[in-house]
Each structure stands twice: as structure tokens, then as C-alpha cells.
Copies of this chain bind each other. A is one copy, B any other.
């Protein structure tokens, strides 16, 4: 008899969120814990399935009741083979998900990167419901992107579609500044427009203005300019502080130029913004206005609404709709 029970796991660099849902995506159990620290993939998955058994025990179920497991990871994934191809934050590089999980679970699986599963989650149950063509950006330490076209994740020729961190929106060829862009460690667009970029620019700006410990933004950060982060500037801008608004102009402008390019190329119905900035209505409103100054093509700009649960829900959606093709010879 079908239980319809699914597991979604969103493994982040520091936290892992695990949910058990039915086929409609209603969450029956939820558990958040620090991401497993293990040197070997086998130890990682053994510990992960201990957590799976634990969460299932809280709702009087066992792994035999589970009809699919979807996993989101902070790395690049070959969704056809289930092999993790690049994952800086975890010791899972080159790991085959199917082989690692087989000892613990033999049902339907899905594996994808964290931004793709967040986009699937928002498309299924959040800000992108009934949006046939949608782009999702997650703005945090870096900037991640995912592209949903015709209600399906678009992954590109080598599974790297959505790598908008590398966007170039500020090039001045006359200044021959090519040397700057030869490092691809951190994309140029994200160096300006990510949460990290907002923090760096804010500290530079405050320093250049000789702001002291009594400046409201610095006070919000605990009295030390060097501790000012994106969240401090966003909170103060939201509250109407003119310096915070002045600072936000620059990263918002960069972000607007990048999003305008995505809209001009793909004409999506909406662009969903996730990450900490999505909590600021000031940020979303300003961004929306500026995008229209860069492109006449219209798309809705909306904040993500599912918060931390988007990725785990999207992983469930993935295993429901697009499970890994199992190779019978590998099973």
C-alpha cells in the first residue's frame, strides 16, 4: 500500500534541514541540525541516515515507508548520474549518490544543487506558483541562480546553467581592466551585489565618511565599523536611515543591472529573490524600480516566501517529478 511519504533534505554548508512530507508537500515532520562533519562519504551518509531514522521515529514510521528521497547540496551535480561533481564545502567531491545511499535506501532518489531545489520549492509552493518561466536568485555570501523554463529546471549543456555569479555588468573596456576578471574564484557580479559585497561596500563607505561608533549603522553592528554586515545596512535602510539608503544604492544598482540582463534574455514571468535581502521590502521595491530603468521587458520581482524550507520542499518535488534514472547494473 502506498504511504505517499517523501523525505526532503537540504544540506547546507553549516546547517541541514530534513523534512518528511506527503505527496502534496504538506510537512509532517521537520528537523534542523548542524551539517554532519565527516571525512569520508561513507561516514557522512551513515550519519545522515541515522538522522533519517530519528526523524521517522518521531512520526512512528520507518525507512520502508518512504517512497522517495530528494537531496539538495551546495555544489554541482550531474543530475543524470547522481554524481556530485564539485562541492567545496563538503567531503563529497566525485561521490555517486546512488552508491552511497544504496546500503540504507533503495527507492527513488533525487539530487540537485541547493539553488535549484530552492527554486523548485518556490515554484511548487511559494513565490513562483503557476509561473511557467521563473528565475530564482539566492543572495547571501554569494549569489546563486536557477532557471525554470516551461515549468522545468533548465540545466544547460553541462549542468551549470544559472551561474549568474559570473555576470559582468560594470565593464569599462576603455580602462582595460581585464586583469581583474581573470580570477573566477568569486564572480564579479556577486562581489558587488551579494550580501558579502554589501558588507564590504558599507564598511568602505562608512570609513570614507569617517563614521564613528555613534553612527546608527555602526551602533546596529555593535559599535565597530569592521563588524558592519549587510543585515545592518538593510535594517537601517528599511527604517529610513539616509546613509543606509545611500549605501544600498550601489549594490542595488548592480543587482538591478544583472537582473535586467536576465529578463531581457529570457522574458520570464517572475524573478524570485531569496536569501536575507528578501526580508527587506525596501530592497525589493528599490530593486524593482531600478530594473525598469535598464530594460523595457517586464517581469514581476518577488521575494521568496518559503524561507529555509524551500530547498527541502524542492528536493521532494524533484524526486516526485524527476527521479534519478537508475542504472540497473549499478544496483
One of B165, B167, B178, B297 near A160 (C-beta < 8 A): B297
Contact residues in B for A254 (Cβ distance below 8 Å): 171, 173
Docked-complex contact B166 and A169, CB < 8 angstroms: no
- Assembly CA distance A180 to B276 (angstroms): 31
Contact residues in B for A182 (Cβ distance below 8 Å): 293
Docked-complex contact A166 and B295, CB < 8 angstroms: yes
Docked-complex contact A167 and B250, CB < 8 angstroms: no
Contact residues in B for A272 (Cβ distance below 8 Å): none
Contact residues in B for A64 (Cβ distance below 8 Å): none
Closest to A270 in B: B157
One of B132, B154, B170, B249 near A266 (C-beta < 8 A): B154
**Total A residues in contact with B, Cβ cutoff 8 Å:** 55
CB A137 to nearest CB in B, in angstroms, measures 11
CB A222 to nearest CB in B, in angstroms, measures 28
One of B171, B250, B293 near A253 (C-beta < 8 A): B171
One of B145, B178, B188, B293 near A178 (C-beta < 8 A): B293
- Assembly CA distance A167 to B294 (angstroms): 8
Is A198 an interface residue, CB under 8 A from the partner? no
Closest to A162 in B: B265
Is A231 an interface residue, CB under 8 A from the partner? no
Contact residues in B for A155 (Cβ distance below 8 Å): 267
